[in-house]
Amino acid sequence: MTFDLPPFDLPDPFLARRDGARILLAGPAPQSLGLRDAGEGRLWPACPEGGLPAALAVFEALSAGPDEVVLMLDPAPWAALLPELHARGIAVPFEGAFAVFPALFWQVPDRWLAHAAPPFPELFRRGPHGRHPLRPPKPEGLLYRRFIPWLGQWLTLRALDLDDLPTFHRWQNDPRVAAFFEESGTLDQHRALIERMLADPHLLPVIGALDGRDFGYFELYWARENRLGAVHDCAPWDRGWHVLIGEEDIRGAEHVTAWLPALMHYMFLSEPRTRTILGEPKASHVQQLRNLTRGGFGKIRDFDFSHKRAALVALDRQHFFDARLWARPPESDGRPLRLSPTVLL
């Protein structure tokens, strides 16, 4: 079986071929990643050339499916990388060897965040619903990038700016979107809305794209400063979000399994102190509530805003990583698998 890999930071595409328990990567600089089958869903990889970026790519590919843990039975080939892998929690001692546990590895931001930053110092200030931390400067440009194996496409998240006004305006005036988002208006009204959001330190407006095609808008917010903070006891780094899928052909369940976990992954990676991600969709939006339940959210209760009856839902950080909610969904099992592209230096 052959797996096509699109280019990733390299001018030429790579091909991956699986031969039994062995993955062979070929491209401008052919590489061989030997894997010994350890049974019980475990694999022992040989250390790849290319240093840490190549190792992270291998771990992502191996942890994107049902395998429980990646074991490095013989640490000798990994000697050069093990100190850094261990110090950062990517590989930890386990049963006399070193192991890469997906729940740890997928919390390390290097593979997915465009600009990983250390946690912003914590200083509390007064807010509309009690004290909240001083928020870090909002990132700009590309935020997150991940290859979605079951779609065979790159999913990216980037910070919205005024260049996105025409697309934002078109989406907000789509009757189907306006029925739930309630932000239809003129071009000038939407320009003013974007300017207000960009100036608001508690809001981060985001555009999602698949293979460079914009498909949706996500509004991320710090929950304590938001209207949600008035009706729920939000923790200091809890985050909430709103979603608008603007393109009709991206509204299906197959795409929800791509953008929903990717967005949650971004929020957990970008702030390690975020323990819970909250949502407050309309209580009557049955399909969205069904999608959220499948994505790991639990319903807490219904409540009333001034403008809608809402359902309060929450996703726990530990549950997201322990349950591996980023992984290939069961309904995609019949599709040809495409491994995540590898960076080779």
Q: Which of 60, 219, 225, 280 is catalytic?
A: 280
* Contact by Cβ (8 Å): 256, 210: no
- Give the separation between CA 317 and CA 65, rounded to whole angstroms: 20
Phi, psi for residue 206 in degrees, rounded to 5: -135, 145
- Give the separation between CA 171 and CA 244, rounded to whole angstroms: 8
Sequence-separated (6 or more) residues with CB below 8 Å from residue 339: 3, 5, 16, 23, 61, 64, 149
- Give the separation between CA 80 and CA 193, rounded to whole angstroms: 51
Q: Quote the tokens at residue 96.
A: 């006399």
E strands in 63-196? 70-72, 92-94, 97-100, 124-127, 130-133, 142-148, 153-159
Is residue 219 part of the annotated active site? The answer reads: no
Active-site residue set? 280
